[in-house]
Amino acid sequence: RIAPAPGRPRAPAPPRSAAPPRASSSSSSDAPARGAETRAMLSVAVGAAVALHLSALTPHALAKTVNIAIDQASLAQESCGRAGGVPGTGTYKATCMKILGKATNPTSEPVFNADVYGLVKDQANDDVLNSGRVGSIDKLEPGVNDFVLQITVADSQPLPLKLKNFKAQGVTQLLNASPNPYDDYTEFDEFGAQR
């Protein structure tokens, strides 16, 4: 038998390098899921905010402006006694005057906060009010309504008043009332001093 030729010793096989750990399929699939969940939560939050905003605006958005006709021939006036005066001037003398009339609501629903505008002058043809706004009517039912407004007239202005070009405008939803800025709520004691 022939002896095998001596050969080089076989080099040991290099160890297999460990394969890099694969990302688990669960973590890779969680990322899109989390993104979708975040987008859904944002959509819900935005939707809720928009709904809240719209609900707050709904009464104003639904409110329709209505022009109210005032019968000029129905306008009348009467004294309602001595007015309290003007804030800061305890010796100021003034008269309370009521303006009465008829206003027509042309719609089939109530109209609220109808601001009344018109010219109010004394017998000397001087303006009684600083603006054209005379007052406000809280509520007008459909059709013809009686109304009463109250203003303050200085004693130095001769009566009766001249009432012209009255008109009004209101809305079909109850909004914040707009009181007459010329109404006087000042109180005085028996000596004429402001309380």
Digit-coded pLDDT (tens) for 97-116? 999 999 999 999 999 999 99
Helix (H) / strand (E) containing 167: strand 162-171
pTM: 0.59
Cβ-proximal residues to 129 (8 Å cutoff; 6+ apart), any chain = 120, 151, 182
- Range scoring the smallest mean pLDDT among 63-77, 140-154, 167-181: 167-181
Distance CA 26, CA 23 (A): 8
Q: Which of 1-15, 40-54, 166-180 has the highest mean pLDDT?
A: 166-180
Matching residue, tokens 């001769």: 158
- Give residue 9's Cα distance to chain centre: 97
